[in-house]
A and B are shown apart, each in its own frame.
Chain A
Amino acid sequence: MTTAIGAPLDRVDGRPKVTGKARYSADVPMPDMAYACLVNSRIANGRVTGIDTSEAEEEAGVLAVLTHENLPRIASQPPLVPSLAGGPAPGETFFPMQDEVVHYGGQHIAMVVADTYERAQHAAALVRVSYEESPPVTTIEQGRDQAYEPDAIFAGFIPGRTERGDVRTGLSQADVQVEATYTYAGNNHNPIETSTTTARWDGDELVLHDATQGVNATQLTVAALLGLPLSKVRVKSQFVGGSFGGKAMIWHHPALAALAARKVGRPVKLALTREQMFTSCGHREVQEQKITLGAKDDGRLTALRHHKLSPTSPFDNWAEPSLNAAGQMYACPNYEGVYRLFRANTMTPTFMRAPGDATGMFSLECAMDELAERLGLDPLELRLRNFADVDPASGNPWSSNGLSECYERGAARFGWHDRDPRPGARREGNWLIGTGMAAACYPVTPPNTPQRARARLYADGSVVVQASTPEFGTGVATAMAQVAADALAVPVDRCRLEKGDTDFPQIAAAVASSGAGMISAAVHLAATALRDQLIAQAVADSTSPLHGANPADVVVRDGVMAAGSASESYADLLRRNLQPDAEAMGTWNPPPPDTPYGMATFGAQFAEVAVDPELGLIRVRRMTGAFAPGRVLNSKTVRSQLMGGMLWGLGQALLESNHMHPATGRWVNSSLGEYLVAVNADAPDVDIEIIEVEDGVVNPLGVKGVGEIGQVGANAAIANAVHHATGRRVRKMPITIEDII
């Protein structure tokens, strides 16, 4: 049997990526291309009282200047629904340039189109805007007193308050309590490719090349905003230069690019600038979380109270779901999770890698570390004592778990058990050395709609599978070739995924680590259906050596069907019947929301840090992560993604922070020079252990996904290691020099 699934194959799209031939959305050449540049609001709250476009319009090469005074009205009010739901998915319910109101700093207020990028960029600077400015709400301190408890957050998918048992009773039963407040800076995705759309009209048909996590999401959104039939909107996306949630929702620029192209009658490229990436595609919101843990002397939790306070936009109730995984991590009978929001002058926050759990699990796992210290227990032992045999949130069994193995093997690889638990006990020159650990949990979130793929086998035996999904770094083309190869029992190098085009069968936006699971499901079902179809054809074909065989007895190997001594290849079957190819569709119906299983991915994170307490420097020396992500489709690319997630945890723990100027509501450090993401020198070697667990619930192949789990808990392991090194608890992210000295 071929066993392509799991093999550490090199990426099939490696060659175009290393040679510069891979075409991203800004790389698609078109004759007569025009360029759009956006003008952004200088104020964060108020009204545009006048826009003078005359100077811009007089610049050589300028084709159009669009403002709220002349941009067409959108066809429908944008809804707020996550793109995984399979409908239109604008990131917020507000669409700019429809009236003169300014809700947040950097809001798009005009768009200039010119025949070259340089001319558009300069003319954008010549658009003169006057404002009537009102004081903005920008900080948690300003918003605290007006905070409210929403019925639901996250586009209505998550209740504002969740309770089980009675947390007060639980706390009264506790021998020990830990209460701590954590504050987190706002984060921005900052993929190296800025969001870009190239738009071209072909008569009344619109073709978009969009940097997106889901071409169908772009299609649905732009069609709804522009009032176009879906059949008239085609979206392509061959390669996306990273996303991390920043391209998970379909923000304003694809529709604006389409409107610009229609206005000037030429293809238009609209590439956001780096600075605009901070105000055009959402962010992880600044937030404050408060945790109260109650435990018996033996460490068993009796109560967990977890509250969050965060700013949302003036028009949407959005918070990243920070309380969910933390609420189902441990067997704790009494729980209370409450989101509180206040309206501020920001755009609607959005998904960012490990949405919610990159902060909520940090709070929980740092509090657990404090509890372990209070109880004199090893932090790992405390977690084992609170292992949840069933999903505490629902009482349902886990679809699969693997957490105990993650603890065990991660600890062994890391050398956890050799640890001297005393803080500040290990010094090497100017450096204090510490180690820390944390648990990781990220929910498995199936999509809400059926997912489709098509498999086609040509008469030469080569295979193409088609699905609309784009490739943004996950290695989907490689993994899906492996899935198709195993389902059809053909060599993997005979299989190819065609992707990134709404003309292919529909796949929802690949968000929330759902991509590998749902795409592999559709591809597996399509390829399996094709195999069954070909076997059925062979056994019914009187000219086939397999004629009359029981289909159940037919096994396929290397593209050859065999039953007993009789055999025939797929290719021979098709050629003899003069069929150029054979095709089958696969449709996967995801498990419904009331599926009676707890579905989550688990892991264990370990980190060693060196802290120079005099100079406040923190350097992560090594990281080990053990994860149980269900089935692994490609162990090479899966490791890479987990490693990237863990290093994201490092960046979030120590570096990443955006700052708003309180008086103006403008983000202050909107560049990659000042918004710090990890560089090569910050990134230690990362050790990864994968524990494969079988899961028959989440999807046909039992794939739980690895996009986020690597980040969850990695930040907490680092913070706990900083405490172990220095004896200092820093209850915030990022942890920076001034927190240490």
Chain B
Amino acid sequence: MSSSGSTLTERGPALEERGPGPVNVTLSVNGAEHSVRIEPRVSLLDALRERLDLTGAKKGCDQGTCGACTVWVDGRRVLACLTLAMTCEEHEVTTVEGLARDGELHSMQQAFIEEDAFQCGFCTPGQIMSAVALLGEGHGDDDDGIKEWMSGNLCRCAAYPHIRAAFRAVRDRD
């Protein structure tokens, strides 16, 4: 199957058509360039997990309803399960694996440990990617704000009060 082609139309320029078979895609993840050969239907989540062995982002629903796959694209938190990997070409993807610097935990990661803001840990990478993003979004000044703006990340262990405590600890320290 051809990896690229073109569609000629009467009006407007042709648009390069890639796929549906595997095509070469370059992804920039945590500051490193990766080349993967994937079908266009491959989600960013499956590209990270199954092709790049970056399994920090989790698949909890694959439907945009749980937040376990939260990563950043160009610094904004998004759901990797509803993002096609190909759409991330020329954009910077950050996953939980890219948060610690030189082995030193991000203060949010440290606070999650200290506040026991998780139990099974499965939703934790997504929670942390959301919590760090929220620091920058500026809606976490009070608990009502944290509650609302962290509600896109389900925690079935229900560590929510501790997640808020971890967020507060970092917010009030930084």
Chains A and B in contact, CB within 8 Å: yes
Report A's interface with B, CB cutoff 8 A.
10-11, 13-24, 26-27, 29, 33, 60, 116-118, 190-194, 239-244, 271, 273-274, 472-475, 636-637, 639-641, 643-644, 647-648, 651, 671-673, 677-681, 683-686
Contact between B160 and A647 (Cβ–Cβ < 8 Å)?
yes
Q: Which of A19, A193, A685 has the most CB of B within 10 A?
A: A19
Say whether A11 contacts B161, CB under 8 Å: no
Across-interface contacts of A472 in B (CB, < 8 A): 120
Question: In the complex, what residue of chain B is closest to A710 when comparing beta carbons?
Answer: B158
10 A-B pairs with least C-beta separation: A20-B56, A241-B122, A17-B121, A473-B120, A473-B119, A647-B158, A14-B113, A683-B160, A27-B55, A20-B96
Closest Cβ of chain A: how far from B152's Cβ, in Å?
8
Please tell me which one of the listed residues A14, A24, A29, A118 contacts residue B112 in the complex, with CB atoms under 8 A apart. Answer: A14
| In the complex with contacts A18-B112, A679-B151, A118-B58 CB distance below 8 A | no
Q: Is the Cβ of B147 less than 8 Å from the Cβ of A242?
A: no
Q: Is residue B29 within 8 Å, beta carbon to beta carbon, of the partner chain?
A: no
Q: Mark B119-150, 1 if CB is under 8 A from A, else 0.
A: 11111110010000000000000000011101
Given contact pairs A18-B121, A241-B122, a sample of 5 additional A-B residue pairs in the complex whose CB atoms are under 8 Å apart: A29-B53, A473-B120, A475-B119, A637-B116, A671-B61
Min Cβ gap B154→A in Å is 6
Task: Tell me the smallest distance from the CB of A474 to a CB of chain B, in Å.
Answer: 7
Tell me whether A680 and B153 are in contact in the complex, defined as CB-CB below 8 angstroms, given that A19-B109, A20-B95 are known contacts. yes
User: From residue 41 to 99 of chain B, which have CB atoms closer than 8 A to chain A?
Assistant: 41-42, 46, 49-50, 53-66, 68, 95-97, 99
Give Cα distance in the complex from A648 to B119, angstroms: 14
Residue pair B156, A192 in contact (C-beta under 8 Å): yes
Q: Which residues of A contact B46 (CB under 8 A)?
A: 117-118
**Contact in complex: A19, B158 (CB < 8 Å):** no
State how many angstroms separate the Cβ of B155 from the closest Cβ of chain A: 7
- CB A4 to nearest CB in B, in angstroms, measures 17
A472 to B155, CA, bound (A): 13
| A279 nearest CB across to chain B (Å) | 15
The verdict on A192 contacting B66 (CB below 8 Å), with A17-B121, A241-B122, A640-B119 known, is yes
A680-B121 CB under 8 A given contacts A648-B158, A672-B63: no
- Give the distance in Å from the alpha carbon of A473 to the alpha carbon of B159 in the complex: 11
Whole-angstrom distance between the Cβ of B56 and the nearest chain A Cβ: 2
Using CB atoms, name the residue of chain A closest to B167. A680
Is the CB–CB distance between A274 and B58 below 8 Å?
no
Known: A192-B58, A681-B148. A473 touches B121 (CB 8 A): yes
Q: Given known contacts A240-B120, A681-B148, is B55 in contact with A23 (CB within 8 Å)?
A: yes
CA distance A644 to B158 in the complex (A): 5
Residue pairs across A and B with Cβ atoms less than 8 A apart, 7 shown, are A20-B57, A191-B156, A474-B119, A637-B116, A643-B162, A672-B154, A680-B164
- Assess whether A118 is in contact with B119, with CB atoms less than 8 Å apart: no
Shortest B171–chain A CB gap in Å is 15
B contact residues around A651 at 8 Å (CB): 158
Q: Compute how far the CA of A641 lies from the CA of B156 in the bound complex, rounded to whole angstroms.
A: 11
Collect the chain A residues with CB atoms within 8 Å of residue B14's CB.
Answer: none
Q: Which residue on B lies nearest to A651, using beta carbons?
A: B158
Instruction: Give the residues in chain A near B160, CB-CB below 8 Å.
Output: 647, 678-680, 683
- A473 contacts which chain B residues (CB < 8 A)? 118-121, 157
B107: min CB distance to chain A, Å: 11
> How many Å lie between the Cα of A33 and that of B42 in the bound state?
16
- Nearest A residue to B162 via CB reads A640
Inter-chain CA distance A680–B49, complex, in Å, is 26
Chain B residues near A684 (CB, 8 Å)? 161
A242 touches B122 (CB 8 A): yes
Closest A residue to B56 by CB, please name it. Answer: A20
Q: Does B114 contact A (CB under 8 A)?
A: yes
Name B97's closest neighbour in chain A (CB-CB). A20
* Given A192-B60, A672-B61, A681-B147, A24-B158 contact (CB < 8 Å): no
- Bound Cα distance from A18 to B148, whole angstroms: 22
For residue B173, give the distance in angstroms from its CB to the closest CB of chain A: 17
Rounded to whole angstroms, the CA-CA distance of A27 and B58 in the bound complex is 9
* Chain A proximity mask over B1-31: 1 for CB below 8 Å, otherwise 0: 1000000000000000000010000000000
- A241 CB contact (under 8 Å) in B57, B65, B120, B151: B120
Q: Is the CB–CB distance between B156 and A242 below 8 Å?
A: yes
A684 to B146 Cα, complex, angstroms:
12
Complex CA–CA separation, A27 to B113 (angstroms)? 22
Q: Which of B50, B61, B114 is the one whose CB lies under 8 Å from A274?
A: B61
Cβ B128 vs Cβ A244 within 8 A: no
Bound-state CA distance A651–B109 (Å) is 27
A673–B147 CA distance with the chains assembled, in angstroms: 18
Whole-angstrom distance between the Cβ of B73 and the nearest chain A Cβ: 17
Pick from B42, B61, B66, B157: contact of A644, CB under 8 Å: B157
Tell me which residues across on chain B come within 8 A of A643, comparing CB atoms: 158-159, 161-162
Give Cα A14 to B152, complex, Å. Answer: 22
Chain B residues with CB below 8 A from A22, complex form: 121
Given contact pairs A191-B120, A192-B122, A273-B62, A678 touches B158 in the complex (Cβ within 8 A): yes
Task: Please report the C-alpha to C-alpha distance between residue A354 and residue B158 in the assembled complex, in whole angstroms.
Answer: 15
Inter-chain contact B161/A685, CB cutoff 8 Å:
yes
Q: Which residues of B contact A117 (CB under 8 A)?
A: 46, 50
Cβ A680 vs Cβ B58 within 8 A: no
Q: Are A644 and B105 in contact (CB under 8 A)?
A: no
- A20 to B55, Cβ gap below 8 A? yes
B39 & A118 in contact (Cβ 8 Å cutoff): yes
- Known contacts: A17-B124, A19-B96. The answer to whether A274 contacts B113 by CB under 8 A is no
CB pair B109 A671 closer than 8 Å: no
Asked if residues A15 and B122 are in contact (CB atoms below 8 Å), the reply is no
Residues of A within 8 Å of B148, CB to CB, are: 680-681
Known: A20-B57, A192-B123, A239-B120. A673 touches B65 (CB 8 A): yes
Q: Which residues of B contact A475 (CB under 8 A)?
A: 119
User: Which residues of the other chain, B, contact A15 by a CB distance below 8 angstroms?
Assistant: 105, 113
Question: Are A24 and B58 in touch, CB under 8 angstroms?
Answer: yes
Measured between beta carbons, the chain A residues less than 8 angstroms from B58 are 24, 192-193, 241
In the complex, A678→B158 CA distance in Å?
8
* A10 partner residues in chain B, CB cutoff 8 A: 113-114, 116
Q: Is the CB of B157 within 8 A of A242?
A: yes
On whether the beta carbons of B156 and A677 are closer than 8 Å, the reply is yes
Contacting residue for A17 out of B39, B61, B64, B118, CB 8 A: B118
B61 to chain A, nearest CB (A): 4
Whether the Cβ atoms of B114 and A680 lie closer than 8 Å is no
Residues of A within 8 A of B1 (CB): 60
